Amino acid sequence: MTSEQLETLVTPEMHAKRDVWENELVSFPVSESDIRKWALASYWPEKPPRLFWDAAYAKGTRWDGIIAPQDFNPFAWPIDRPPGREADGPRTAPGTRGMNGGQVETFGVPMKPGDVITSRTRLKDWNERTTRLGLTLFTETEMEWRNQRGELVKTRISTGIRY
């Protein structure tokens, strides 16, 4: 059966998961050393902004201390890694081929030393239409990070494309 013959790529599981937050992860406390190393690696070979590594300088800023660069990832060093998707051969059935449609990030409060970040994800929305590839499903997955005070640190909307 080709994707042109399918009525929909939207599954009952997708309907059940729409707007349901799941996959909650909690980071280790963010350390000043983590922030400094991330900034050094991110800006290499240039010197990173002092706000990311110089405590005395950062104390005099509106942040009252060191903050992490926006791209800092407190989940970059997990003890246990979730299992990867197993290779299961070529994907030729309709709806099993896919690609990354991009992402948009929105930033809230910056991460600071001592912060503990909680991440969660949800299937936010989808749009299905016929393209030159046949029946195509565009899904939006939302990821949200909040600190221990419940303040929004970051959201990311990722678009997946399946056909």
For residue range 34-79, list pLDDT tens digits in order.
999 999 999 999 999 999 999 999 999 999 999 999 999 999 977 7
CB neighbour list of residue 26: distance below 8 Å, 6 or more residues apart: 116, 117, 118, 119
Minimum mean pLDDT range among 33-47, 73-87, 123-137: 73-87
Residue 136 near residue 46 (C-beta atoms within 8 A): no
Q: Which CATH number describes the domain made up of 1-29+94-163?
A: 3.10.129.10
Instruction: Provide the whole-model pTM.
Output: 0.84
Confidence of residue 85 (pLDDT cuts 50, 70, 90): low
Task: Give domain limits for the chain.
Answer: 1-29+94-163, 31-73
Helices marked H in the chain: 12-17, 32-43, 55-59
Phi-psi region of 149 (alpha: psi -120 to 50; beta: other; left: phi over 0): alpha
- Mean residue pLDDT across the chain: 91
